[in-house]
Amino acid sequence: MFDIFSSFSPGLLAILALVVLVAGCVRGFAGFGAGMIFIPVATSVMAPATAAATFLFIDSLVALPLVFRAISRCDWSTVLPAVVGSVIFVHLGAWLLANTDVLFLRWTIFGIVAGLLLLLVSGWRYKRKPAPAISFAVGGVSGVLGGISQVSAPPVVAFWLSSSKQPDVVRANLIVFFALASIGTFFAYIWNGFFTLDVFHLLFVAVPVYALAIFIGARSFGKADPVLYRKVAYLLVALAAVMGMPLLDPLLR
């Protein structure tokens, strides 16, 4: 009989299920951050394209209920320009990845993310209503970083956390932004043939675990206060910075 998990050992599947569980809880609570947890671990045990395609599929599919609920809460006047900027400039990030020294790019990304984190922790707030041009520029920076390294969250997280918006609006902005920005990635992965049989085999384990984890995380968000939400978001941005450091490659990759 055909074994759908023949490409992966039971031990590996158990480890990935645990990582998916943690990543999903974070995604359900914060509205972002799952990729920062899943991708570094998954790419250490499988092809990067397989890991990225698996995560894109499960996150886009399972997180749909989050998107439907966030649509009525997000601030469309700032989300849409950011999405447009990301979709356009992700191609610049991909071009830079293909034509620039990767080590230099990764240290540059670390500097940008660390700088954004320091700005947030300092207590600085962007108190004016974001103009479409500013939202577009922030989305563009997010797209460039995503094209280079898939670490696209910190710019938009810092931008919306620095506003006076309540955590539920910030979370809704992030959920809708990543859902819309991922559409272009889906087409690119299909074009490049990344959705292989290995990806669909992994979905049998990943989808139910991720769905349960997102439910747990979303329920936890309803009980959390704004201060806790910001602390978790800061921690995730710091995690993105640390896990992207070239110095940690022997441990994470």
Domain boundaries, the chain: 10-252
Residue 30 has pLDDT above 80, yes or no: yes
- Residue 146 CB-density burial (10 A; 0-12 exposed, 13-18 middle, 19+ buried): buried
Six token digits for residue 105? 């790019």
- DSSP E strands, 131-235: none
Please give the C-alpha separations between residue 251 and each of 39, 43, 158, 236, 243, in angstroms, as whole numbers: 14, 12, 27, 19, 10
pLDDT, position 176: 94
pLDDT, position 252: 56
pLDDT, position 109: 75
Q: Read off the pLDDT of each residue in 69-84 and give the average, rounded to a whole number.
A: 93
Round the average pLDDT of the chain to a whole number and report it: 81
Most confident residue range from 27-41, 64-78, 173-187:
64-78
Please give the C-alpha separations between residue 2 and each of 5, 6, 13, 195, 201, in angstroms, as whole numbers: 9, 8, 17, 20, 12
Q: How far apart are CA 149 and CA 237, in angstroms?
A: 14
Q: How far apart are CA 155 and CA 54, in angstroms?
A: 24
Residue 237's nearest CA partner among 33, 23, 75 is 33
pLDDT, position 135: 94
pLDDT for 116-142, tens place per residue?
778 777 776 666 777 899 999 999 998
